[in-house]
């Protein structure tokens, strides 16, 4: 049997822009992608905390260090700059791999810079540690 698990998550990112007249995707700071081992064209789920929308698209690397998190194409209708979002990638793995796997989870600040990596993904549900 195979299971699909959360592989990486950016918690609390801020949308920096929307580009309706652009082919669909999510542009993400290449530095964030590197830190969370996310690849260009990798599938990503975007969960908008402001309006409840959920969408699946793919990643495009933005300028490293820019903090860009941009919804492009039709997805641009599902958010606006300033919205808080969760960005989640998944992986399918064997039962044995799934039981040992630990996802990468990062909390980011208002400029989309990593402020903390969570060792236990379950902790992401309660927010930053005191």
> CATH number, domain at 43?
2.40.40.20
Residue 63 lies in a domain: yes
Residue 113 lies in a domain: no
Contacts for 88 with CB less than 8 Å, ≥ 6 apart:
6, 8, 9, 10, 44, 45, 47
Q: Shortest CA distance to 14 belongs to which of 36, 29, 35?
A: 29
**Total of domains in the chain:** 1
Residue 62 lies in a domain: yes
Tell me what pLDDT residue 124 has: 44
Tell me what pLDDT residue 2 has: 96
Cα 130 to chain centroid distance, Å, stands at: 23
Which residue numbers are catalytic? 25, 58
Tell me what pLDDT residue 23 has: 79
Tell me what pLDDT residue 122 has: 52
Tell me what pLDDT residue 125 has: 52
Q: Tens digits of per-residue pLDDT, 27-62?
A: 999 999 999 999 999 999 999 999 999 999 999 999
Domain residues for 78? 2-93
Tell me what pLDDT residue 119 has: 77
Residues of the chain where predicted confidence (pLDDT) is lower than 50? 123-124, 126-130
Tell me what pLDDT residue 128 has: 47
Residue 42 lies in a domain: yes
Cα 42 to chain centroid distance, Å, stands at: 11
Beta partners for residue 18, in sequence order: 71
Residue 57 lies in a domain: yes
Q: What are phi and psi of 14, to 5 degrees?
A: -110, 125
């Amino acid at each position: 049997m195979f299971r699909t698990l959360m592989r990486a998550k950016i918690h609390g990112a801020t949308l920096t822009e929307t580009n309706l007249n652009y082919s669909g995707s999510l542009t993400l700071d290449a530095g964030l992608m590197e830190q969370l081992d996310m690849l260009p064209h990798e599938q990503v789920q975007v969960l908008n905390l402001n309006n409840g929308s959920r969408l699946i698209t793919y990643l495009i690397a933005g300028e490293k260090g820019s903090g860009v998190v941009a919804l492009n194409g039709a997805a641009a209708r599902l958010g606006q700059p300033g919205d808080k979002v969760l960005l989640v990638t998944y992986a399918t793995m064997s039962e044995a791999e799934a039981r040992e796997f630990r996802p990468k989870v990062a909390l980011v600040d208002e400029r989309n810079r990593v402020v903390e990596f969570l060792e236990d993904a379950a902790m992401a549900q309660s927010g930053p540690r005191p």
